[in-house]
Amino acid sequence: MTTFQGVLFDFSGTLLRIESAESWLRAVLTASGTEMAESEIVRRAGELARAGALPGGPEPVALPAELAGLWRLRDSRPDRHRELYTALARQVPLPRPELYEALYDRHRTADAWAPYPDAEEVLAALHGRGIRLGVVSNIGWDLRPVLRAHGLDRYLDSCVLSCEHGVQKPDPRLFRLACRELGLAPAAVLMVGDDRTADGGATALGCGYLPVDHLPVDRRPDGLRPVLDLVG
Separation CA 45–CA 143 (nearest Å): 24
How far is residue 88's CA from residue 45's CA, in Å, rounded to a whole number? 13
What pLDDT score does 110 carry? Answer: 98
Helix ranges (H only) for 52-171 are: 68-72, 78-89, 99-107, 119-128, 144-149, 162-165
What CATH number belongs to 6-17+113-230?
3.40.50.1000
Give the predicted TM-score (pTM) of the model. Answer: 0.96
Which DSSP symbol is given to 73?
T
Supply the pLDDT for residue 170: 98
| Confidence at residue 2, expressed as pLDDT on a 0 to 100 scale | 60
Angle, helices 38-51/21-32, rounded to nearest 10 degrees: 120
Q: Walk along the chain (232 residues) and give the pLDDT tens digit of each residue.
A: 467 999 999 999 999 999 999 999 999 999 999 999 999 999 999 999 999 999 999 999 999 999 999 999 999 999 999 999 999 999 999 999 999 999 999 999 999 999 999 999 999 999 999 999 999 999 999 999 999 999 999 999 999 999 999 999 999 999 999 999 999 999 999 999 999 999 999 999 999 999 999 999 999 999 999 999 999 7
DSSP 12: B
Angle at 148 between CA 214 and CA 200, to 5 degrees: 35
Question: What is d(CA 74, CA 92) in angstroms, rounded to the nearest whole number?
Answer: 20
CATH 3.40.50.1000 residue window(s) in the chain = 6-17+113-230
Q: What is residue 59's DSSP assignment? A: P
